[in-house]
Structure 1
Amino acid sequence: MVICLFASLAHADGLAEPKGPVILTISGAITQTNGPNVARFDREMLEALERRIITANTPWFDAKHDFEGPLAAAVLDAVGAQGSTMRVFALNDYASDVPVADVREFPVIFATHLDGEMMSVREKGPLFLIYPFDEFPALFNEVYFGRSVWQIARIEVIE
C-alpha cells in the first residue's frame, strides 16, 4: 500500500505520459520528465498548453498566414527548463541554437496549425518555430529566420 502511494506521488510531480504518438522530445537541463531524462509530448499535450495565433509574413510563404500553436515559453515552463539555450533539431537533424531569452521576450510559438489546418511534415510540421515577425518588425532578418526551425522533432535545453 505504501509503495502505491509513493508511485502515485512521483507521477503527480512529473509530466503526464503521452497517450498518442510522440511528436516532440525535450532533454537536457529540465526538471519535469515523463521518461528517462526526457519529456515527451504528443499532440494533445501540446494543444493543452497556452496557445497563440501569429499572423505574419515570412520568407517561406508568398503571403501572410495564420500560425497557431503553443507558446514556446509555455512548453519550456512545462518541462521546468533551466537553461539559457534551446538547441532545436528538425527531423533531418538540422539544428539551430535559440536563446531562451527570445521566447521570454517575444511570444514565439511552436506552430502546429497553418491557417487553421494541422501542419503536416510536407507543410513544415509537425512543429514550426515561428517568431511574431509582423508584430516586431526588427525580428524580420536572417538571424531570426535561421532560428525558425521547421519539422521540429526534438529540443535539447542547454545551461
Structure 2
Amino acid sequence: MNLRNALTIVATFAVMCFSSANAQNSIPLTVVLVGGEQKELSLEDLDSLDQVSFSTSTIWTDGIHQFSGVPISSLIQHLNANGELLKLYALNDYSVEMPVAELEEEVPIIATRIDGATMSVREKGPYWIMFPFDDSPDYQTESNYARSVWQLKRIDLLE
C-alpha cells in the first residue's frame, strides 16, 4: 500500500466516524399528541427545556452515574399537551405504557446525558427514560424498570 492509499483510507475513516457521531445527535424524539399531531424534537430542543439531573445506580449499568435531561411532565407542559396515558417506544419497537397521573414534577426524566456526555445508540441512547432509583424504594419497582425505555424514539399521548 502506498502513502496516498493509506491517507485516503485514514481520511475516509475519519469522515465516517464524524458522520456517525453527528447522526447519533440528530435522531429526533417524536411526540404524538392526542389527535395525531406529531412534534419532532431534536437534542437541542430538549436541551432548551428545564433540566434535571441526579445520580443513581441502575440494574443495567455498573456503579453510580449522573443522568440529566428533561422531566416528562415539563415536556408535556411545554407542548401544551394533554392525555391520560403515555406509550413509550424504543428503536427496537419495545413499548410500554405509563399513566400520566403517575408522573411527578421532576421524575421520570428523558435522559439525554449520562455523566455529562450524550449517549450513542450503542450506549442506550440517544434518549433514556430514567428514575432516581437510589432515592427511594418506591422507584425500585418492576413497572418503573419496564418504563425505563432506552433508545427512546417516540412518545404517544393517548386519551
Q: Scaled by the length of structure 2, what TM-score is found?
A: 0.79
Q: Scaled by the length of structure 1, what TM-score is found?
A: 0.79
Is 1:28 the counterpart of 2:33? The answer is: yes
How large is the RMSD of aligned CA atoms in angstroms?
A: 1.8
- Deviation for aligned residue 1:37: 1.4
CA offsets, 1:1-39, max 9 Å, x none? xxxxxxxxxxxxxxxxxxx94511111327xxxxx8111
Q: For structure 1, which runs of at least 5 residues remain unmatched after alignment?
A: 1-19, 31-35
Structure 1 CA distance for aligned equivalents of residues 60 and 94 of structure 2: 17
Is 1:108 the counterpart of 2:113? The answer is: no
Q: For structure 2, which runs of at least 5 residues remain unmatched after alignment?
A: 1-24
2:67 corresponds to which residue? 67
Is 1:143 the counterpart of 2:148? The answer is: no
Q: Is the 1:112–1:118 contact (alpha carbons within 8 Å) kept by the matching residues of 2?
A: yes
Q: Is the 1:102–1:108 contact (alpha carbons within 8 Å) kept by the matching residues of 2?
A: no
Structure 2 CA distance for aligned equivalents of residues 104 and 139 of structure 1: 11
2:123 corresponds to which residue? 123
1:56 corresponds to which residue? 56
Of Structure 1 and Structure 2, the greater helix share is in: 2
**Percent identity over paired residues:** 36
User: How does 1:7-46 map onto structure 2 within 5 Å?
Assistant: 21-29=26-34, 37-46=37-46
Structure 2 CA distance for aligned equivalents of residues 22 and 119 of structure 1: 11
CA offsets, 1:88-145, max 9 Å, x none? 0001111010121232355211001011111111111110000121222221121110
1:88 corresponds to which residue? 88
Bigger Cα Rg? 2
Structure 1 CA distance for aligned equivalents of residues 105 and 48 of structure 2: 22
